[in-house]
């Protein structure tokens, strides 16, 4: 293990590595929040009854699911610059990650929304809830429990995907590692250390999301408002079951 630190003056690079570490976190947070919003909107659009909206959402999903992320980054950073649209590395990288992972999250969210029984919606309407309240208080909380495992996987994958920002000089950990390797000619040592930093980031995040998943599936209320929502869901489920039984009789 000591060989990893021989020949590389790590103390000289601590400020640069710290800045790269913060940059990696910035890419992850901004991109994931944007991807989650894009994914939810796209999932709802895919389920819309208005055909042009669902078709447009499907085209977006299929396009970005089957387009390599590195290609998106080159188009956004180098391609747009050739026609006069100049994005910074952070803007291009965050947008590329958001569009790429938003397509995958839309499929995860759509599966979660479809996993909620139709009787739940009908029971909510029977209780006098509006479409917005039904979606917010009945459908989305149940869909979230279904979508958490896939969403957590995408979050960790997005964090690792920030390493591709090296292709556009994004200033994150992999870019900084490449600069240090070129300065010291110790590529093996440098990239092993960079890999360990990514591992130190991803492993706790995976454990945290697994804990969240277990809590949600165990039915633990996360807050007073969450407890009220859970109570509403239980009422809707009971009414939905009764409604289904009466329709069968």
Quote the pLDDT of residue 137. Answer: 75
Mean pLDDT (whole number) for 219-243: 55
DSSP at 127 = T
pLDDT tier for residue 214 given thresholds of 50, 70 and 90: confident
Q: Residues 113-122: contacts with CB within 8 Å, 24+ apart?
A: 113/43, 113/44, 113/47, 113/139, 113/143, 114/47, 115/142, 115/143, 115/146, 116/142, 116/143, 116/146, 117/240, 119/240, 119/241, 119/243, 119/244, 120/233, 120/236, 120/237, 120/240, 122/240, 122/243
Of 155, 165, 140, the residue nearest 206 (C-alpha): 155
pLDDT of residue 244 exceeding 50, the answer is no
Residue 45 near residue 57, CB atoms below 8 Å: yes
pLDDT tier for residue 103 given thresholds of 50, 70 and 90: very high
pLDDT tier for residue 234 given thresholds of 50, 70 and 90: low
Token output for 10: 């790590």
> What percent of the chain lies above the pLDDT cut of 90?
54
* 174 against 1, higher pLDDT: 174
pLDDT tier for residue 222 given thresholds of 50, 70 and 90: very low
pLDDT of residue 126 exceeding 90, the answer is no
For 77-101, the pLDDT digits (tens) are: 999 999 999 999 999 999 999 999 9
pLDDT of residue 109 exceeding 80, the answer is yes
Domains of the chain: 12-248 (1.10.3720.10)
For 130-182, the pLDDT digits (tens) are: 777 777 777 887 888 888 888 999 999 999 999 999 999 988 999 999 999 99
For 186-211, the pLDDT digits (tens) are: 889 999 999 999 999 999 998 888 88
Of 189, 203, 207, the residue nearest 160 (C-alpha): 203
* 227 against 206, higher pLDDT: 206
* 21 against 11, higher pLDDT: 21
Quote the pLDDT of residue 233. Answer: 55
Quote the pLDDT of residue 61. Answer: 95
Spatial distance between the Cα atoms of 189 and 183, rounded to a whole number of angstroms? 13
Token output for 111: 């599966």
pLDDT tier for residue 119 given thresholds of 50, 70 and 90: confident
């Amino acid at each position: 293990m000591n060989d990893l630190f021989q020949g590389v003056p790590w103390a000289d690079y601590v400020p640069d590595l710290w800045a790269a570490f913060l940059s990696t976190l910035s890419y992850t947070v901004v991109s994931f929040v944007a991807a989650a919003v894009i994914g939810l909107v796209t999932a709802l659009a895919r389920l819309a009854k208005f055909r042009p909206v669902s078709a447009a959402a499907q085209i977006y999903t299929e396009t970005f699911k089957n387009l390599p992320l590195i290609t998106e980054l080159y188009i956004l950073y180098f391609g747009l610059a050739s026609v006069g649209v100049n994005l910074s590395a952070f803007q291009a990288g965050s947008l590329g990650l958001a569009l790429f992972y938003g397509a995958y999250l839309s499929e995860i969210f759509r599966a979660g929304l479809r996993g909620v029984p139709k009787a739940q919606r009908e029971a909510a309407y029977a209780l006098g809830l509006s479409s917005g309240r039904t979606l917010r208080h009945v459908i989305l909380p149940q869909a979230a429990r279904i979508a958490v495992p896939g969403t957590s996987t995408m979050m960790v994958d997005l964090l690792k995907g920030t390493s591709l920002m090296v292709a556009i000089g994004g200033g994150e950990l992999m870019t900084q590692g490449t600069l240090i390797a070129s300065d010291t000619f110790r590529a093996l040592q440098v990239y092993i250390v960079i890999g360990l930093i990514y591992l130190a980031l991803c492993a706790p995040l995976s454990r945290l999301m697994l804990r969240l998943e277990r809590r949600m599936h165990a039915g633990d209320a996360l807050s007073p408002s969450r407890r009220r929502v859970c109570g509403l869901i239980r009422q809707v489920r009971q009414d939905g079951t009764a409604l289904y039984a009466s329709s069968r009789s």
